[in-house]
Amino acid sequence: MKLWAGRFQKETDSLVNDFNSSVSFDARMYREDIAGSIAHAAMLGKQGIIEEHEAEKIIDGLKAILADIDAGGVEFSDDNEDIHMNIEVMLTNRIGDTGKRLHTARSRNDQVAVDFRLYVKKQIPVIIGMILDLEKVLLKKAEANLETVMPGYTHLQRAQPTTFAHYMMAYANMLKRDVTRFEDCLERMDECPLGAGALATSTYPVDRFQTAGALGFRKPVDNSMDAVSDRDYAIEFLSACSLLMMHLSRFSEEIILWCSWEFKYVELDDAYSTGSSIMPQKKNPDVAELVRGKTGRVYGSLITLLT
């Protein structure tokens, strides 16, 4: 029986179950889900909402599940809809009815909200690190080409002379702005929604500051209704990603033009090019072309979330 099915008299139709299931997508957030549940269980025990020994049993069970998932020894079930219910069912199967006490003073609403925030919060520094790596490459190329003269273009017509270093630094500056946008997003989203319940908190004496601190957030979200409904940070994140992809797409188009026979300004390394199955003279900038193609996916995700 599903965790929410107490008042229902019939099983969910298999077509509805398949259509409603999200575990194929949100399974990637299993670490965040378990981290949120450990923080919640520790708070329940400290506040006396459940017994300390029950909290410890729950936390030990969650850590064991995390280790098993990391080791590839767990298969998630569509019958349990999402990553949250999958883990809770696993926990109850392993430690018995004590596992059911984990959901005390918590809704899937604030659970989903905290998982998603934790996931985005964790990914932003990863993306910033990648951008900085690319900036280092651009700086290295610029330093090596301080006196490499090339034409600058407007309207795809030769306009003024410049240097390859100056061209590289234009993109380095674009990427620098991208870093600051991600940093701004991270600063604004650093608030914890856990403890908001479905939308109006709980009558249990939960300590939202404890769970916020345990999960590495600066503070709890001020308003519980806003806590569970807010996805502004995700839209901001996708907006920053879209601008980043625009810059990468623009740079990729430069590379595609520059390494063509018509321009012949640069030559791509063999390790980052592909060939033709029928034309042996070809050296194709496939990576740059695919970056441009994948840009549309990111734009699409932003528009999808906005609507």
* Digit-coded pLDDT (tens) for 182-215: 999 999 999 999 999 999 999 999 999 999 999 9
What class, spelled out in words, does domain 110-195+223-306 have in CATH?
A: mainly alpha
- E strand spans, the chain: 149-154, 157-163, 191-192, 219-220
Angle at 267 between CA 266 and CA 272, to 5 degrees: 130
Q: What are phi and psi of 151, to 5 degrees?
A: -80, 140
Catalytic residue selected from 155, 224, 242, 260: 155
> Is residue 276 annotated as part of the catalytic site, yes or no?
yes
Beta strand 219-220 with 191-192 is parallel
The arithmetic mean of pLDDT across residues 234-246, rounded, is 98
CB atoms within 10 A of CB 86: 24
Any residues with CB less than 8 A from the CB of 296 and at least 6 apart, and which? Answer: none
Question: What's residue 270's pLDDT?
Answer: 93
Question: What's residue 10's pLDDT?
Answer: 83
The arithmetic mean of pLDDT across residues 147-172, rounded, is 97
Angle at 202 between CA 201 and CA 203, to 5 degrees: 140
Helix ranges (DSSP H) in 28-144: 30-46, 52-70, 83-95, 108-144
Residue (of 190, 187, 188, 200) closest to 226 by Cα position: 200
Residue 4 has pLDDT above 60, yes or no: no
- CA 116 – CA 228 distance, rounded (Å): 11
The arithmetic mean of pLDDT across residues 18-23, rounded, is 90
Which 3 state secondary structure label does DSSP give 225? helix
Question: What's residue 3's pLDDT?
Answer: 63
Residue 52 has pLDDT above 80, yes or no: yes
Catalytic residue selected from 229, 260, 276, 301: 276
Residues forming CATH 1.20.200.10 domain(s) in the chain: 110-195+223-306
What's the whole-model pTM score? 0.92
CATH fold of 14-104 reads Fumarase C; Chain B, domain 1 (1.10.275)
Instruction: Determine the longest span between alpha carbons in the chain, in angstroms.
Output: 78
CB 228 within 8 A of CB 198: yes
Which 3 state secondary structure label does DSSP give 91? helix
The arithmetic mean of pLDDT across residues 234-261, rounded, is 97
Residue 6 has pLDDT above 80, yes or no: no
State percent of the chain over pLDDT 70.
98
Residues forming CATH 1.10.275.10 domain(s) in the chain: 14-104
Residue 15 has pLDDT above 90, yes or no: no
CB 299 within 8 A of CB 241: no
Q: What is the mean pLDDT of the chain?
A: 96
Residue 50 has pLDDT above 80, yes or no: yes
> Is residue 103 annotated as part of the catalytic site, yes or no?
no
- CA 83 – CA 76 distance, rounded (Å): 8
Chain segment 91-103, per-residue pLDDT in tens: 999 999 999 999 9
Report CA Rg, the chain.
25
- CA 293 – CA 279 distance, rounded (Å): 23
Any residues with CB less than 8 A from the CB of 294 and at least 6 apart, and which? Answer: 245
Question: What's residue 121's pLDDT?
Answer: 98
